[in-house]
Chains A and B, each alone.
Chain A
Amino acid sequence: MVRSQETVEETRERLIQLDLVTRAPEVTEVDARPEAGVAVDIRGLNAWYGSFQALRGVTMAVPRERIVAIIGPSGCGKSTLIRCLNRMNDLVPSFRADGVVLFEGENLYSKGVDAVDLRRRVGMVFQKPNPFPKSIYDNVAFGARINGYVGKLDEIVERALRQAALWDDVKDKLHKSALALSGGQQQRLCIARTVAVEPEVILMDEPCSALDPIATLRIEELMRELARTYAIVIVTHNMQQAARVADYTAVMMMTEDRAGELVEYGDTREIFTNPQKKQTEDYITGRFG
């Protein structure tokens, strides 16, 4: 967490010194939302688990080819929000949502949308690496197989593993168990598995929370790389991580009786250096709660 004595700028500077952050101000400065185009447009999204309201009128646009970080305290609805984007919440029996989530001009929560087809186009990487208990090759090929891809599986697998910066680590042991890989490699395998089905958006639900700092760094580099092609939405507990990788940052908050409110959303640099809301400032400086 952010040390309270240190300003965000200092934190960022320190991380740059430590070589944990690549200094890429041109990226955030050049980015203007309209040019990047909108990948997912969330408008007035409410969500409930039974009678508990987990999201309250969330409105935000996820740009293409950029990274959006969602930060906020535990239980504030971050995971619920990204799980709305690929309708993973459908699996929770008591879940319901209203509002509009536009993806490719279509509301995800309208009747005709097939969640199975949607999930191919909006990939997801989970908190804990969850490779299938199969070979590395089969892990990556699985998505292509079930979606009935035509084309050489070997090529799909190699391309995906290269995109996930894992090819050199595993090219000699493609048919060994994925469970023998290290945690960081497993998470990159999960990313490879996700990009293998050529999604348009990649959701990451605290992808580094089970990883050590070095593995975390590699995933972050990889995310910057992937953001050339995909829209990425990452949920993170780690504010430095948001500051390091995200172009835009959304801050969600909860109070004792209210959860799931989007407090502030904007350029990451602005959020961390010049937050508009007091709640944001309290949270990012560690004075929250």
Chain B
Amino acid sequence: MIAGAAMRRRLRVRRGAGGIFVTLCFAATLAGIVALAVLLITVAADGVQRLSWEFINSYPSRRPEDAGIKVALYGTLWLMAFTGAFAVPLGIGAAVYLEEFATRNWLTRIIETNINNLAGVPSIVYGILGLAIFVRYLDLGRSLLAGSLTMALLILPIIIVASREGLRAVPPSIREGSLALGATRWQTVRFQVLPAALPSMMTGVILALSRAIGETAPLIMMGALLFISYTPDSPFDRFTVLPIQIFNWVSRPQHEFKENAAAGIIVLLIVLLSMNAVAVLLRTWFEGRRKW
């Protein structure tokens, strides 16, 4: 038996150790948030007075006070729409195949490993690929189409991985229940598994797209770093996107352009955060209805 006093002393030490650990973890949490807050505040302080409807709705200009973000904003939105149109069906299709239909053998294992590795390939490599295949070989030029195809390749592995997570979260008992009623595999996937997995798959898709919004390197590689004074009208038009426009402005010597860049960052962040907010809303909305 341990003496009462010694026991209590030990307990104080144990509690103290726990307290120190919690404090360290809290500090770690705080570090990230503080850094982000400082960043946001600096950007906001620089850019907020430039932010206006006029700024959003103006074409680029050599004069910083006339320059606006319209072309890049349109470019980003169009790029996202096309990227999503290419990457989402392919990604979800691949995920459904791998998760629901493919038999486990060496081939599917190789495919799986490769997809997981592709998710970690540096984006500049995708840029080189896009330049070689879409811009040059398929002769699409430095067009919106070539850009979206490159971006689609970039986010495809992310979408596949996220969608597979979503499919795997659907309990096997749902599939068994459906198959036991005489449903085919396709009917089971179509009517039970996909609807149940949809919310988390959509969250994954949105997060993948918001990754693509921030990507600059592959597009610079492909030559979207441009001074363009018109918004794209067709997929074959040239384009630029928000991060490139921001990069462009930052590299100008005049201080006023730096303000433009800050305002551009705010616009980019707003687009990004609203997409993430949609992802969060979707998730909570669906999760409220889904229990198993």
Measured CB to CB, the residues of A under 8 A from B are: 86, 88, 91, 93, 116-117, 119-121, 123-124, 126, 128, 130-134, 142-143, 146-147, 177, 179, 190, 193-194, 197
Of the candidates B179, B289, B290, B291, the one having the most CB atoms from chain A within 10 angstroms of its own CB is: B179
* B173 at the binding interface (Cβ < 8 Å): yes
Q: Chain B interface mostly helix, strand, loop or mixed? A: helix
A190's partner among B177, B196, B290, B292 (CB-CB below 8 A) is B177
If the complex has contacts A93-B103, A128-B173, A146-B191, are A119 and B290 also in contact, measured as CB distance less than 8 A? Answer: no
Q: How many residues of B contact A (CB 8 A)?
A: 23
Chain B positions 245-290 with a Cβ under 8 Å from a chain A Cβ: 289-290
CA distance A116 to B187 in the complex (A): 11
Q: Which residues of A contact B289 (CB under 8 A)?
A: 133, 177
Mark B170-191 against chain A: 1 for CB-CB distance below 8 A, else 0: 0101101111111110010001
**Across chains A and B, which 3 residue pairs bring their CB atoms closest together, nearest first?**
A120-B182, A130-B173, A143-B181
Q: Which residues of B contact A128 (CB under 8 A)?
A: 173
User: Are A133 and B291 in contact, with the CB atoms below 8 A?
Assistant: yes
* B63 at the binding interface (Cβ < 8 Å): no
Closest residue to B290 on the A side, CB-wise? A133
* B192 at the binding interface (Cβ < 8 Å): yes
B182's partner among A91, A119, A130, A132 (CB-CB below 8 A) is A119
Q: Which residues of B contact A123 (CB under 8 A)?
A: 180-181
Q: Which residues of A contact B191 (CB under 8 A)?
A: 142, 146
CA distance A147 to B180 in the complex (A): 12
Inter-chain contact total with CB atoms closer than 8 Å: 73
Q: Which residues of B contact A120 (CB under 8 A)?
A: 181-182
A133's partner among B103, B180, B184, B196 (CB-CB below 8 A) is B196
Closest residue to A193 on the B side, CB-wise? B181
B67, chain A: closest CB distance, angstroms = 51
User: Are B290 and A146 in contact, with the CB atoms below 8 A?
Assistant: no
A149, chain B: closest CB distance, angstroms = 11
CA distance A91 to B175 in the complex (A): 10
If the complex has contacts A132-B192, A133-B196, are A88 and B176 also in contact, measured as CB distance less than 8 A? Answer: yes
* B14 at the binding interface (Cβ < 8 Å): no
User: Are B182 and A147 in contact, with the CB atoms below 8 A?
Assistant: yes
CA distance A101 to B292 in the complex (A): 34
A194's partner among B181, B195, B290, B292 (CB-CB below 8 A) is B181
CA distance A143 to B181 in the complex (A): 6
* B104 at the binding interface (Cβ < 8 Å): yes
Of the candidates A123, A126, A130, A190, the one having the most CB atoms from chain B within 10 angstroms of its own CB is: A130
Known: A130-B177, A146-B187. 20 other contacts (CB 8 A): A86-B180, A88-B179, A93-B104, A116-B182, A117-B182, A121-B182, A123-B180, A126-B173, A128-B173, A130-B171, A130-B174, A132-B177, A133-B195, A142-B178, A142-B191, A143-B182, A146-B191, A147-B181, A147-B182, A179-B290
B144, chain A: closest CB distance, angstroms = 40
Mark B28-65 against chain A: 1 for CB-CB distance below 8 A, else 0: 00000000000000000000000000000000000000
CA distance A49 to B152 in the complex (A): 41
Chain B positions 146-178 with a Cβ under 8 Å from a chain A Cβ: 171, 173-174, 176-178
CA distance A91 to B104 in the complex (A): 12
A132's partner among B103, B104, B178, B291 (CB-CB below 8 A) is B178
B169, chain A: closest CB distance, angstroms = 12
Of the candidates B178, B182, B192, B290, the one having the most CB atoms from chain A within 10 angstroms of its own CB is: B182
11 pairs, CB–CB < 8 Å, chain A vs chain B: A88-B180, A93-B104, A126-B177, A130-B174, A133-B174, A133-B289, A134-B195, A142-B178, A146-B183, A147-B181, A194-B181
B32, chain A: closest CB distance, angstroms = 35
B183, chain A: closest CB distance, angstroms = 5
Of the candidates B103, B181, B289, the one having the most CB atoms from chain A within 10 angstroms of its own CB is: B181
CA distance A88 to B183 in the complex (A): 12
CA distance A134 to B291 in the complex (A): 10
CA distance A179 to B104 in the complex (A): 33
Q: Which residues of A contact B292 (CB under 8 A)?
A: 133, 179
